Structure 1
Amino acid sequence: MGLTLTASADFAIDKPAGEPCPNLRRDFRCGIHVRLRDGGFPGCTVYDCFGAGQKVVQVTFGGRDWHQAADSGALMFEVFAVMRLLHELLWYLTEALVLAPTLHSELRTALDDTERLTFGSPQSLAGLDTPAHRSRINDLLLRTSELVRAGVSPMPTNHRGADLRGADLRGADLRGVDLRSAYLTAADLRAADLTAADLIGAELRDADLRGADLARSIFLTQMQVNAARGDAGTRLPPRLIRPPHWA
């Protein structure tokens, strides 16, 4: 509802933010959920809001939905964008607490501060300086990444933001590599070792992860996994699940 859809390989239609999807039923369930991929909406099977949608409706707006809003849900949709970012940061901070014990105090404070923000009023959330908060958290996550990757390789490789679309990386040793925000769309990563590789923000859409080892990669999300291709031989961190569409 609150998201923009663009007609593409991911979505069969164009839809502006705030306009209901034609597949949305009156009970707020998806009318084609069981056949999203075949129905031209594979992008919906990839998306993950990190629980932000439920938080906004059930907590921030006390159970009210956009049908009941005088502004047709405009404030709710604005708040949702902020809440999703905060919940994503909570995901990373929770992982970082386990990865970097030496930064525990700073990470714990950052996590508590971020969680406290998620319980703010709709107006306070809409007015939050998200770039400033994200920058503060990102500094901590970078330090966490450096600590983890240095423990694997004394001189970790930096491929941050690299264009690796369609790259042949079969069997590659990518241990401790910085792949933050790297473009790995349709890259062949079969049997690659991504132990301690930093994958925060990496684009893994249609990347071939069959047989790849991501069990101890860092900052990998379910959304990234959902967008990729894998098989029974793909090793994932225990907090993530194997997507149903994988072979």
Structure 2
Amino acid sequence: MIPITTVKYPVNEFFQTIQGEGLYTGTPALFLRLQGCPVGCPWCDTKHTWEKSDNARVSAEAMLAKTAPSEAWAEMSAVEILNVIEAQGFTAKHIVITGGEPAMYDLMPLGQELEQHGYQLQIETSGTFPLHVTENTWVTVSPKLDMPGGYLVRPDCMQRADEVKYPVAMEKHIDALDLLLKNCPPRQDTIIALQPISQRPRATELAMQVCIERNWRLSVQMHKYLNIE
């Protein structure tokens, strides 16, 4: 077994805020954003996390001191991440691992270490990479279909999902989700949530209508309405 202290993760951001999406909306949370993603979603609002360049590698101190989004990332172990939590005085116990595409990395050592110290983990993933997470990690799959990167949503990710959070703007997006749910069915207890793209009124109306018809949930990206990260 590889010692936890030797496993390093490329961290682009680490900050405390309020979770603005999905079931945990409103929950104080630490967001651990990892660098690297080949999926290529056109509407992505974190495109600065796509490329993991050695030239952009900085110290943890420099990464934490960033005041604007950038490609700069720091290599950190689970123990170093815990040290940052203590040093920064963070109080949230819910840790959201996002990206980029965090499932590119083996998150088991990170999850095991953080859970031992009383933290609850959530991963937000496109569902296009195998999941290496602890049993207690809350898995949010936001399926990315027909993206430029050419990656397919994995049936095993859909089966592991605690919630499927899907961005919608038009009827064709609902049709695509229906096809995915048919071909890659999640568990019966998996939460299905629709998330209007960019708060567009027509998208919001469509999402609300479908959620009411099907008894699904609406995810409204509360952090964007509050103008927080």
Q: Do Structure 1 and Structure 2 share a fold, with TM-score over 0.5?
A: no
Q: Which has the higher contact order (CA 8 A, sep 6+)?
A: 2
User: What's the TM-score once normalised by structure 2's chain length?
Assistant: 0.25
User: What's the TM-score once normalised by structure 1's chain length?
Assistant: 0.24
Pick the structure with more strand per residue: 2
Pick the structure with more helix per residue: 1
